[in-house]
A and B are shown apart, each in its own frame.
Chain A
Amino acid sequence: MSDYLKLDHIDKTFTRGGLTSEVLKDVRLTIDKGEFISIIGHSGCGKSTLLNLIAGLTQVTNGAVLFENREVNAPGPERAVVFQNHSLLPWLSVYENVKLAVDKVFSGAKTKAERHDWIMHNLNLVQMGHAKDKKPSEISGGMKQRVGIARALAMEPKILLLDEPFGALDALTRAHLQDSVMDIHARLGNTMIMITHDVDEAVLLSDRIVMMTNGPAATIGEVEEVKLERPRNRLDLVSDLRYIASREAVLRFLYERHRHVEAA
């Protein structure tokens, strides 16, 4: 038995014009199949950098990202990313944005009609089927983010990487999308790694919360395990003692132990 996804002693330094900055130092983590992991930490500590390393969009300086025992050194559709700012291509309609992904990933495996059904299936999963012919500029921020999620899901990824997927959304839309993500996770059982700034969101969604120390040379400070059974209901959890305990642990880490860069 081996690890599904393993971050093996990862260092990451950026070099620009003779200047090197050490962003990540000795990051170690193993993630099981089907787990929901949240990464939380102060701004600029290197969360996106870590996610990009897993996605293969940037390369590690030392160590390795091992996925199913193979080293990750390039991006691929089995590790789909939902980007921080949706990243839909503005000249394509909602449908065409998802189609681009589906045509690429399933060009050999599915017929044209099957691909169409699959695109619509994924758009309907995030309740965006009705807007399929709209351009990204014609839909709201929350809708764009949903299309971004649909595009990522349509690649049938083994791991879904989400970089602050709900960062720019209002509380109601956010809650709605969190429910959608939990629902999708329950139905498809894929592994999810999500960056967030929101402690409640982290506790609500995650199996484990990875807390990062402040940069430079950030690493994993603590890992909080959230042992709440699924499906989870946000209203029931408000008074759940395990929920409150997890929430407090994360808040303490963020605001007491790693408030300032100097304190790290």
Chain B
Amino acid sequence: MALPAAQPSNVTVLATKASAASPAAPAAVVALPARKGGAAGLLKSKTMKRLNAIALTVIPPLLVLLAMMLVWEIACNKPGATLPAPSKIWSESKDLITHPFFVAGPQDIGLGLRVMTSLQRVAIGFGLAAVAGVFLGALVGQSVWAMRGLDPIFQVLRTVPPLAWLPISLAAFRDANPSAIFVIFITAIWPVIINTAVGIRNIPQDYRNVAQVLRLNPIEFFFKVMIPSAAPYIFTGLRIGIGLSWLAIVAAEMLTGGVGIGFFIWDAWNSSRLTDIIVALAYIGVIGFALDRIVAFVGVVVTRGTSAS
């Protein structure tokens, strides 16, 4: 192994370091390249490892995606095919893919902007569902009587498909936007309630005893013991809830109209822009995936202490 002659000073420093660390002189010579750069070398190998890990998670799905595109291209790139091939999607919907945030008119905007309006509805509906769901779940989990009274009702209501709520909420709110938000709310709330209730019921008696000896009042008990203790369960519920919300918003928007991503698909279907629909599907999938990961990540950060016990 030849050391670069251009760095003589570096070499001498390293040599003294190495010989100080290990008195065996031959070993020091061999060890030199490994120790080169000291901390910088360590950092380099760390980033290498990280890059390696990223490559391992990113490259296989990319390859599979490429293969799928290829098969799809071969299958659909011929006259008489009912669905557009990837090449056709690129040529016809290029502006949608490359310019997510363009604004060319009140109804002619980029998919990124449409997703934003959909996300805004989800944020409001899901946010309300999260808060109400945790409170109701805590009530059901904590009080036997609340459970007896409410649980059967929840169990029935949660089986109602999201879109079945839409006509009722349109009738009640007389406006598309609050109706869509309500559908998100009513879709996302059940898993939050049910998981929170399970989490509250599973609070160890020891924690309750501690709270009792300290005479924590109900509000202190709720925030200082119940919520942290049930947090892993709550986040399971929230994660299921955000997934259901995203499923429901697209369907709801198809029916209520507006500028959301759901209505865009419906609109594209009515004007036979199949390639636009496929691009929109890709958007929806990626955003749904991201939402799921975000909630999961927040859950991991928040419940680090609880689950480590």
Contacts and interface: CB of A to CB of B under 8 A. Distances in A.
A101 interface: yes
Contacts of B172: none
Contacts of B308: 90, 135, 137
Where chain A touches its partner, the secondary structure class is: loop
Contacts of A218: none
A199 to B, nearest CB: 27
Nearest to A104: B214
A89 interface: yes
Contacts of A100: 214, 224
A99 B258 CA distance: 52
B212 A75 contact: yes
B214 A85 contact: no
B215 A104 contact: yes
Interface residues of A, number: 25
Contacts of B225: 89
Given A85-B206, A100-B224, A91 B306 contact: yes
A150 to B, nearest CB: 14
B100 interface: no
Contacts of A89: 207, 210, 224-225, 228-229
Contacts of B215: 75-77, 104
A56 B224 CA distance: 22
Given A101-B214, A104-B214, A87 B306 contact: no
Contact of B228 (A76, A79, A91): A91
A57 interface: yes
Nearest to B224: A100
A83 B309 contact: no
Contacts of B229: 89, 91
A259 B245 CA distance: 63
A101 B209 CA distance: 13
Given A90-B306, A101-B214, A135-B305, A81 B228 contact: no
A96 to B, nearest CB: 10
Given A91-B306, A135-B308, A136-B309, A57 B214 contact: no
B24 interface: no
B209 A87 contact: yes
Interface residues of B, number: 21
B209 A81 contact: yes
Contact of B209 (A57, A92, A136): A57
B216 interface: yes
B305 A90 contact: yes
Nearest to A135: B305
Contacts of A83: 206, 209-210
Interface in B208-223: 209-210, 212-216, 220
Nearest to B307: A90
A97 to B, nearest CB: 9
Greatest chain A CB density within 10 A among B215, B220, B305 is at B305
A250 interface: no
A64 interface: no
B213 A76 contact: yes
Nearest to A137: B308
Contacts of B212: 56-57, 74-75
A105 interface: yes
Interface in A65-119: 74-77, 79-81, 83, 85, 87, 89-92, 100-101, 104-105
Contact of A75 (B207, B213, B220, B224): B213
B207 to A, nearest CB: 6
Contacts of A177: none
Nearest to B212: A75
Contacts of A81: 209, 213
A75 B208 CA distance: 11
A55 interface: yes
Interface string B223-242: 01100110100000000000
A105 B216 CA distance: 10
Greatest chain B CB density within 10 A among A57, A76, A90, A137 is at A90
Contacts of A57: 209, 212-213
Contact of A104 (B216, B228, B305): B216
A46 B45 CA distance: 60
A76 B308 CA distance: 29
Contacts of A80: 213
B210 A87 contact: yes
Contacts of A104: 214-216, 220
Given A137-B308, A137-B309, A87 B214 contact: no
B206 A90 contact: no
Contact of A90 (B213, B214, B220, B309): B309
Contacts of A85: 206
Nearest to B216: A104
Given A83-B206, A91-B228, A100-B224, A55 B213 contact: yes
A177 to B, nearest CB: 19
A40 B13 CA distance: 68
Contacts of B216: 104
A92 B213 contact: no
Nearest to B305: A91
A87 B206 CA distance: 6
9 contacts: A55-B213, A56-B212, A57-B213, A76-B215, A81-B213, A87-B210, A89-B210, A137-B308, A155-B214
